[in-house]
Chains A and B, each alone.
Chain A
Amino acid sequence: MNKHQIDADLVRRLAALLDETGLTELEYSTNSLRVRVAKNHGGAAVSVAVPPPAAPSAGAAARETTAPARGEHPGAVTSPMVGTAYCAPEPGAMPFVKVGDAVRPGQTLLIIEAMKVMNPVAAPRAGTVTEILVRDAQPVEYGEVLLIIE
């Protein structure tokens, strides 16, 4: 857990910005602090992280990164390849899973398309989907966290 005082005012302002602009995700970073607010299906989620004290990261704001806590989450399902993530079998169809769904091992969670080949991503274990971190048709890289199953 972080040991810093949470700047509640900053977080409130970021959350208000989300509503105002209709964005689903906002990340704000300085040399000592990174705050990400994201709107998931149930409401806004907030994560506050202090980046490790290693050399400053150029272009951190420009990169689409998920908060560090997610990558280490035991229930994280990561992308096995670089491509485009699709949350539904075809445009307009029901998504494979929603937050709150119970899933069986091997159940298709989403599809990664690479080079015109559709690659299903299967649930590695049984559990409940607690977070979906990608949007439909979002480009994803190898190792990127797609969803969390607990």
Chain B
Amino acid sequence: MFEKILIANRGEIALRIHRACRELGIQTVAVHSTADADAMHVRLADESVCIGPPPSRGSYLNMPAILSAATVTGADAIHPGVGFLAENADFAQMVVEHGFTFIGPTPEHIRVMGDKISAKLAMRRLGVPVVPGTDDPVTDDATAERLARDIGFPVLVKAAAGGGGRGMKLARSPGELAGALAAARAEAKAAFGNDAVYLEKFLERPRHIELQVLGDGQGSVIHLGERDCSLQRRHQKLLEEAPSPALNADERIRLGERVLAAMTELDYASAGTLEFLYEDGRFYFIEMNTRLQVEHPVSEMITGIDLVREQIRIAAGGRIGIAQDQVRFSGHAIEVRINAEHPVTFVPSPGRIGDYHAPGGPGVRVDSALYAGYRVPPHYDSLISKLIVYGATRNECLMRLRRALEEYVIDGIETTIPLHRRVIGATDFINGDYDIHWLERFVEQPQAPA
């Protein structure tokens, strides 16, 4: 087992990793930018190393600085967290070449799943249903129209080198295709330096359903069930729940079996998540994230499995040790992401936290690095807290979530807590009846006068 792990990330996820390490008796090294010198996990870590200036390029994305910090502190392994370098196959490769263990999947699996087209091809070959689309970039408009008719309108024109929901244009009919192609190419060129585009079927009212997997790279893979992450604004998730209110037991079992077969064939190691769009009873693979995800706690709550601990254990050579039918699913969990943003305008709101009081009581978990007096820096994403509630049933969760949000005090900055309180009171949400467009329609509604 490792003696010392370097945490190559920041914010609440760095604190999460620190906690898992400490519970395993492992020493932690927190690398941080100058802006994060007073971060909670930096203060709690056994050692801390300042690796660069606030801009991520100079610090959290700075591979030589991170490797150098690992060398001078004598770390055994590096956990990349979420985002930043977590899905950078080159970084994973460098970590290994320098004699450290990378706590995550192999560089090869990161590479295959990082390229969206190759990921779909790999999944299709492994028998996982994918969104119908073109296998190669489309080069001329005439071919594009023929292929689009094969797929069936409406179609999305997507950047091959893209991601994060950018570089996508919709064509509802053949007449709109030429314009969508031109616009998507231009945006792709500007954003990614590469104007290659491909076509994909556009689903009108899908839900976003993802499956959490865990493999040990020694022949065992299990899944921890699905998460419904359909509540999104501009492709950013706001709330996640497990299990999905939309699936029945049969669908759940079938999806799990198909994914497990694929992941076992890959001999996937560490944690990973396969993301699907789900519409009219059918699943369509869109991408795989070869890392821990922000919303991992909801899967932990319903299975009792500590995903970060398992990542560490597996990276140190441990085996899964249980079969799929020994994974126990129990109850329901919901996570809300609380951002440092105005709840209506979404204008970012960094600054100094005044009073801080986190909710508690049965079934309440707060994953946050906030404390009274902490200054939320302006340089990074706005996620400042994850409030997770667990209950025996979905209804119990809803009541508990409403109660917990009432208690939560974060003074001094704007947060999206008021937005969450409105969302969970909406009839559609209470009924579990929402798709990936629901939240954007909801926030556009004029609010009833107070």
Residues in A lying within 8 Å of B, measured CB to CB: 54-55, 57-59, 62-63, 81-84, 114-115, 139, 141-144
- Of the candidates B47, B48, B50, B68, the one having the most CB atoms from chain A within 10 angstroms of its own CB is B68
| Complex alpha-carbon distance, A57 and B43, angstroms | 7
Say yes or no for B121: interface residue by CB 8 A criterion: no
- Of the candidates A54, A62, A114, A144, the one having the most CB atoms from chain B within 10 angstroms of its own CB is A114
B68 pairs with A83, CB closer than 8 A: yes
Say yes or no for B69: interface residue by CB 8 A criterion: yes
* In the complex with contacts A54-B373, A55-B371, A84-B72, A142-B44 CB distance below 8 A: no
In the assembled complex, which residues on chain B have CB atoms less than 8 Å from the CB atom of A58? 43-44
Say yes or no for B181: interface residue by CB 8 A criterion: no
B68 pairs with A114, CB closer than 8 A: yes
Number of interface residues of B (CB under 8 A): 26
B65 pairs with A143, CB closer than 8 A: no
Contact pattern, B 27-59, Cβ under 8 Å of A = 1, otherwise 0: 000010010001000011011111111000001
Interface secondary structure of A, over-half rule: loop
Interchain CB contact (< 8 A) of B72 among A57, A62, A63, A83: A83
Distance in angstroms from B375 CB to nearest chain A CB is: 10
| Complex alpha-carbon distance, A78 and B46, angstroms | 24
Say yes or no for B83: interface residue by CB 8 A criterion: no
B64 pairs with A115, CB closer than 8 A: yes
A142 pairs with B72, CB closer than 8 A: no
In the assembled complex, which residues on chain A have CB atoms less than 8 Å from the CB atom of B73? 139
Distance in angstroms from B447 CB to nearest chain A CB is: 37
In the assembled complex, which residues on chain B have CB atoms less than 8 Å from the CB atom of A115? 64, 67-68, 71, 98
> Who on chain A is nearest to B53 by CB?
A142
Given contacts A82-B52, A83-B68, A114-B71, 18 further A-B contacts (CB under 8 A): A55-B372, A58-B43, A59-B44, A59-B46, A62-B46, A63-B48, A82-B31, A82-B49, A82-B68, A82-B69, A114-B65, A115-B67, A115-B71, A141-B51, A141-B69, A142-B52, A143-B34, A144-B50
In the assembled complex, which residues on chain A have CB atoms less than 8 Å from the CB atom of B38? 54
In the assembled complex, which residues on chain A have CB atoms less than 8 Å from the CB atom of B49? 82, 139, 141-142
In the assembled complex, which residues on chain B have CB atoms less than 8 Å from the CB atom of A59? 43-44, 46
| Complex alpha-carbon distance, A62 and B59, angstroms | 23
In the assembled complex, which residues on chain B have CB atoms less than 8 Å from the CB atom of A55? 371-373
B51 pairs with A82, CB closer than 8 A: yes
> Who on chain A is nearest to B72 by CB?
A139
A81 pairs with B50, CB closer than 8 A: no
In the assembled complex, which residues on chain A have CB atoms less than 8 Å from the CB atom of B48? 63
